[in-house]
A = this chain, B = another copy of it.
Amino acid sequence: MDFDLIQSLMKQNETGKIVLLVMDGLGGLPMEEGGKTELEAAHTPNMDALAKKSMLGLHQGIRTGITPGSGPAHLSLFGYDPLQYKVGRGVLSALGIDFDLKRTDVAARGNFCTVDEQGRITDRRAGRIPTEVSERLCDLLNEKVNIPEVEVFLRVVKEYRFLLVVRGEGLSANIEETDPQVIGEKPLPAKAVDKASEKAAEIVQEFVRQAEVILADESPANMLLLRGFAQWPDWPMFPEVFDLKSIAIAMYPMYRGVAKLVGMDSPPASHSYEEEIDLLEKEWGNYDFFFVHIKKTDSYGEDGNFENKVGEIEKVDALLPRILALDPSVLIITGDHSTPCAMKYHSWHPVPVLFYSKLSRPDGIGSFGERACLKGGLGSRFPAYELMPLALAHANRLEKFGA
């Protein structure tokens, strides 16, 4: 999307409010031939009634056939083409565990691994050690690693995976990963790809040397591998690009994190859908844009639990009247990607969108589901990053182009 075009057309002092309600992993598939998808199967009287007054369609987060990760998928919903705005894995790992990353930190994603006596990798995941073991190893490294002039933080993510953060002055993250991704080889050195990253690469290399000694007697996790070195990206910020005071309302750190990455306010976690809507109501007067994130649709998708995914959609439907009572100028109900229970994984399938506004031209479709959305005016495979300009238009926030 062309931020310059949007910015050149922004109206001043408009007050229309926009709600982006994201049910994670919303899109689905039938479990058997001739069956319904999760959204089609769900009893959603409120969404169906709203569909009649709305525009429908299906979006793609990245490109045709490409399965989105959660980070890029949300960036696309926020109007950022994820092929242009790439986030390193190190930063995503930090966001995912609510680590308070500074703009100058260098972050990497790590694996504990197993090496033999010659230092050659025998297991890249150290037998998938449980989270508690990794937690103890991170504590050990936090305690014992000592590098002058910088701080080094280790935080467990899950199982054998952890986050490494180096904090100091003059650090850049253009560093080659140490994971050769092959069994039987030694970990690679952390080489700087450019001049600016030499200092950070040396520090990482020193960290690896110390870690090797500290972990030497552990089993099976006696070594570590580092990937996805990254720094907080220097992007145009969402509240400035779109002139929207913006807040993220979410239960999980990853989604508050991605929102923070583009400059949205990101208050502490809510603990239930009801609490999320409570916060939406409470902050209604203070913001223009509200990103509300619903996690469990995705979790049940990954579990392959069709019934429970349907149930979560129905819970959200029941809360819809509270959102509508706030009278938003625009309400978008969608997902970030598909997570069909039939696949138990993220997928590339386009994601249903319900776009409601008093100014939207209704498609005349009476329900919200994948096949209903096929008939909608938004199209069946439009880029997710087109939603933001559309939302601004319907919120009466854009001037016309040319005379």
Contacts and interface: CB of A to CB of B under 8 A. Distances in A.
Interface of A: 2, 5, 9, 29-30, 33, 37, 53, 58, 62-73, 82-83, 86-87, 89, 92-93, 96, 343, 346-350, 359, 361-364, 370-371, 374-382, 386, 388-394, 398-403
Q: Copies per complex?
A: 2
Nearest to A64: B386
A87 B401 CA distance: 11
A89 B381 contact: no
For chain A, what secondary structure do more than half of its interface residues adopt (helix, strand, loop), or is it mixed? loop
A65 B390 contact: yes
B359 A363 contact: no
A5 B390 CA distance: 27
A360 to B, nearest CB: 9
User: Chain B CB within 10 Å — which of A29, A65, A350, A377 has the most?
Assistant: A65
A391 to B, nearest CB: 8
B393 A65 contact: yes
B5 A63 contact: yes
Contact of A33 (B29, B53, B398): B53
B371 A69 contact: no
A371 B363 contact: yes
A70 B374 contact: no
B402 A92 contact: yes
A48 to B, nearest CB: 15
Query: Considering the complex of A and B, which 6 residue pairs feature the smallest CB-CB distances, nearest first?
Result: A65-B389, A69-B402, A65-B393, A67-B400, A72-B402, A65-B390
A66 B399 CA distance: 8
A401 B364 contact: no
B381 A381 contact: no
A401 B361 contact: no
B401 A377 contact: no
Residue with the highest number of chain B CB atoms closer than 10 Å, among A371, A376, A401:
A401
A51 B378 CA distance: 22
Contacts of A381: 377-379, 382
